[in-house]
Structure 1
């Protein structure tokens, strides 16, 4: 009996100790959950604080941009006013420039007309030379360069070697040239003497310059005898400095020894013609 009582007492003690242990475990579990929730909440709070800082920084940047945009807008508005003034002035200047260009184009057109008139006369002259006068010889060339007529005559038709005395057979050719010049009283004829590059001196003539000029003046005197107005004639010597070909061979040197008759409108008359056109233009 005594043993039975003792066993019952121990059982009661054991049963009474089990109740508080369950409550403790439950409390501990609840505490753990609370701590987890607190940690989670703390993390979320930190994220929110970070987002707020970023948002504040972005807002500050946007405010600065807005401030800059307002300044830019004010500057553009002011610039627009200035541009309006500049555009008006630019339009006026452009109009003046266009008027100036029109006037210049008209002047150029007038000058081109004047040059065309001169070229027409030149073409008529070369046609006259080739058809009417009948100069037809392989040692005589007629051509037009830059609106000027050139009659190039080989020296073997005009002079003996090293001489500036005109030969008798040259007078037939010069007679035809004289007719051309005399038929064009408003033209001038420049007689150019050309030599080869070999040095020349005979005591009277110092060098090729002397020889080329002497040959030019000799031709001029013959043309005067043939009735050409002296006021139409110009003497010129070019020595050896305007060769047609190199002077390496005897054949080439013969080509370079020549006399050129340059038939051209009188320079003063040509400029008078241009001046007249310019006066007509300014009077419009």
Structure 2
């Protein structure tokens, strides 16, 4: 029974059980007390309704939070597994990176050591148009055409043979070095060279002459050598001057350390 109905019953009982006639003052005091209790009862009813509403709202919020928590827990479980896989994958990639970097470091060391050996062996020819430098992990030995060939010829002269002989001494001691012999010309049209049709022909035949000398005379394994003709299409200097054209007429012997170890690493240890 609510407080309001209890109050009404109480007042009715008091009225019925009393045979004495109340004075006006007592009656008014009783009425005032009743009104005060009624107001208090109304306040408590309002407070109860508010608390009931708050309780229902809090239950809903708690239910929503519980569902969100459950979803986050499931996500955390999935993310934890994914994080573990990513961490393992990262470790594999880092290990592979260290291996590749170590091999490339060894390659660069070998390349620089080879460059130094060649510079020492060919020191006497560097004033005659020979240079040695390193580009992209390869050693480039560049010989101007005047060091190797008479003008317009594909036959190596004696000075050129001496330079190639010194080069071969080093290369025969370095069996793990592959060679690409590249012929280059200037952009001037070829004239009066018999069956040689153009600069491309000339570059190919000069590269072939050098390759044959290195294999047939200096006994470098022919399987290590590739001969190519680049013609006028890869100039060192694009200026249209006699000096620029002289720089462009050259034989470049590109020395590449064999990277079997690196290729094997790439081929057999791919990380997905």
- Scaled by the length of structure 1, what TM-score is found? 0.68
- Residue 119 of structure 2 aligns to a residue whose secondary structure is helix
How many residues are treated as equivalent by the alignment?
A: 217
Corresponding residue for 1:125?
A: 114
Q: 1:126 and 1:133 mapped to 2: Cα distance?
A: 10
- Which of 104, 109, 115 is equivalent to 2:93? 104
Q: 1:218 and 1:132 mapped to 2: Cα distance?
A: 22
Q: 1:68 and 1:159 mapped to 2: Cα distance?
A: 98
Name the Cα RMSD after superposition. 2.8
- Residue 263 of structure 1 aligns to a residue whose secondary structure is strand
Corresponding residue for 1:240?
A: 232
- Which of 163, 168, 176 is equivalent to 1:173? 163
1:216 aligns with 2:198: no
- Residue 106 of structure 2 aligns to a residue whose secondary structure is helix
**Structural mapping, 1:8-47, within 5 Å:** none
Contact 2:180 2:227 in 1 (8 A): yes
> Post-superposition shift, 1:78?
1.2
1:233-265 Cα offsets, whole Å, 9 max, x none, are 210111112111114111100011111111112
Corresponding residue for 1:189?
A: 179
Contact 1:181 1:189 in 2 (8 A): no
Gaps of 5+ in 2: 1-48
Which has the larger Rg? 1
1:52-93 Cα offsets, whole Å, 9 max, x none, are xxxxxxx9xxx8x99888756543431221111101110111
Corresponding residue for 1:200?
A: 190
- Scaled by the length of structure 2, what TM-score is found? 0.71
1:20-69 Cα offsets, whole Å, 9 max, x none, are xxxxxxxxxxxxxxxxxxxxxxxxxxxxxxxxxxxxxxx9xxx8x99888
- Which of 68, 84, 106 is equivalent to 2:73? 84
Q: 1:203 and 1:130 mapped to 2: Cα distance?
A: 37
